[in-house]
Amino acid sequence: MKDKILSYREMCDTEKVQTLQRGMNYRMNAEYSVILMSQRSNAPYTDKIYDDGITIEYEGHDTPKTASVVDPKKLDQPVKTKTGTLTQNGYFVQAVKQYKKEQRLPEIVRVYEKILPGIWSEKGFFKLINYRVVNDGNRHVLRFILEETEIDFSNNHLTENKLKPRTRVIPTEIKRIVWERDQGRCVLCRSTDELHFDHDLPYSKGGTSISADNVKILCARHNLSKSNKIE
């Protein structure tokens, strides 16, 4: 569920894997891919949310550090390995190229974001619609463009819900402020499990995602009972 608050273990359990070591995971699930992002100051990559509130720019990943690769940040981000197989970057690039040639629908990507140490939040499902190669002043890096989409996911099958209004992504900094303000608890019952970031006034009714005053933490029970109603 979008904006659900998760521990690392809960995130792995959601995806039915033992660990999530990579930030990019092409077709981890048969229905979609998974990426982990971070906008924290010490994050290894430059990820960002556009001002439109529905678009993410996600940086590709570096060559793994090895005995022969001391500083991956000096190397162009790879699309293929030394043996010619696709890297995770390569799979995402291939998906975009096939989509642009109308050979397939856009890849659906489930996005999780690190908010604080040990605290993650699901950002929801996005369409992978484009990529570009940019020079960061030192080397060439990949930037993937993902656009938010409303997905109904049940019984391990996803369907795009084009009738459901899209909601703006809650910025990372707002989530950090709200987490600390609400002390990591539901504001109504003080529960600490099954938590979500929730819009006080829904975006569909004119609420904003860019103010902590309009976002609060609710447990699953209170989040579902509120639904899309104005309290």
CA distance 81 to 95: 17
Give the pLDDT confidence of 84-130 residue by residue, as tens digits: 999 999 999 999 999 999 999 999 999 999 999 999 999 999 999 99
Q: How large is the average pLDDT for residues 34-63?
A: 91
Give the pLDDT confidence of 131-145 residue by residue, as tens digits: 999 999 999 999 999
Give the pLDDT confidence of 155-172 residue by residue, as tens digits: 777 887 776 766 778 888
Candidate from 88-92, 200-204, 226-230 with smallest mean pLDDT:
226-230
CA distance 195 to 105: 33
Candidate from 67-81, 88-102, 193-207 with smallest mean pLDDT:
193-207
Q: How large is the average pLDDT for residues 81-85?
A: 93
The DSSP-derived string for 6-40 is: E-HHHHHHHTT-S----SEETTSSSS-EEEEEE-S
191 Cβ contact list (under 8 Å, min separation 6): 185, 219, 221
What is the dihedral sign for C-alpha 109, 113, 119, 122? negative
User: Among 109, 127, 132, 1, which residue's Cα sits nearest to residue 54?
Assistant: 127
CA distance 151 to 231: 26
Burial-class residue 154 by CB neighbours within 10 Å (0-12, 13-18, 19+).
Answer: exposed
